[in-house]
Chains A and B, each alone.
Chain A
Amino acid sequence: MHTTLAGLNLANPTMLASGIMGYTAESFLQVAKGGAGAIVTKSVGTQPRTGYANPIVVQTKAGLINAVGLPNPGIDIFTEEIKYTKTLLHIPLIVSIFGYSAEDYATAAKKAANAGADAVELNVSCPHVKQTGAEIGQSPKLLAEVTQQVKAAINKPLIVKLSPNVTDLGVLAQAAVEAGADALTAINTLRAIAIDSETQQPILSNIKGGMSGPAIKPVALRCVYDLSQIVDVPIIGCGGITTWQDAVEFFLAGASAIQIGTAVADNMAVFSTITKGVESYLRQKHYKNVEEIVGLAHRK
């Protein structure tokens, strides 16, 4: 089920979402073996970070809330892992970058691209140093600034992963595309909290976290549906995708590819399972490729 996306050649349109496994070449190889068409690494910044104390994940009825705190070795150490990975991996490696300023993003992205990353995905769900509390992905101005500077720093495909924690996702998407994003990933996790009634306190050490899993799938699907009417760049659907039916729904809503995160815990082969399911769906409905069904839910 070969497809292309923003210049990337994908054996199939399933990718590992950022934040899952994703530190070492060996873990990327396992995901590739599970059938992924591409891999997005955990988010890497300019400096090492140890992340938050446990608990970093808590399960709710329909999903997980996580606040891992972006642990990462820093781009300078991670470039070695990128180089090593590129000698072993035969699918595109997309490096996720986070930062606290446009300069941070551009610096880390440039180093990742130079080390051999096939594309860069921006994680913009982190606070901006100069505007405490506000996520970069919540301000069209900051988002455009970050996207522009990264775009100028690399000549690899640039994907912006949108935060859903905004009033109007369309405005942010347009800002990212106008600033040079070659594709958009929708969506990152939804801000959430879990409180234990017995001890009467929040469970996550960071108090709040991001919700993923089946609970957010309808929200993510709606975001993709809306965005596909607003922007012309390809959209990568992400949020609670667990089955091939979920994947098909995202294609119909307008996604050209999908990312899988939470569902990987149970089944590393979820990528192959979903790809096979989508293939058989396409065959039954007499479509030649996945491109033919992208956005079909918009037909009047």
Chain B
Amino acid sequence: MSYEIKLDIFQGPLDLLLYLIKKNEIDIYNIPIALVTKQYLEYLDLMKAMNLDVAGEYLVMASALIHIKSRMLLPVHEDEEEPVDPRDELTRQLLEYQTFKAAALKLEAMNILGRDVFRRPEPGEDDRDDDNRPLEEVNIFQLVEAFRQIVSSMVAGELMEIDSERMSLSDRINEIMEQLTKEKVLTFLELLGDTNDRLKVIYTFLALLELMKLRVIKAYQAEQFGTIRIYLAVEE
């Protein structure tokens, strides 16, 4: 069993770079790349020595820094109209990240519901106030059970037929999405129509699983073994 430890001090390579810039009191618009690269690599070594898994992102940044450093060494062609500073892109990225870091701190400082301020629990503690009927979120097993019911209720013993019509999962996904966009809410049965085509049932089921995984749709049922309703995950 392996444990993944995330050094909580740094939220990624950009955060580490900002830390180094602050520590060395560097002007962000004029980063001494050689110095920063050296210290950055030292930190990576330190993290490795502490047996921390250095995430790939840190290594990507390391190679980017080295690349910038090597470009700084190249002579600038005089005929170039506007010599581009190889550090520009990095500076822009750092400034942007710094802004959002500040935004995150601002969010944290707010009076957060459930941490600083509290409200009365809702009746039944259900977050969906637009629908009075409390709906239960369906898990994969319940969806599998519904699928099993439909397959077993299909008329068995038909003649075998090789269907030349090919169906693809992405086609079925698109069909379902189209249907849902039009109808807003559909039951599992409605999605199937009155089909007896086992392949279609399977593809519908696979498409639903895929869409649930992508969180494009949501499935609810009011009670156990009740009808499963499929909604678009998009609100309003």
**Do A and B come from the same complex?**
no
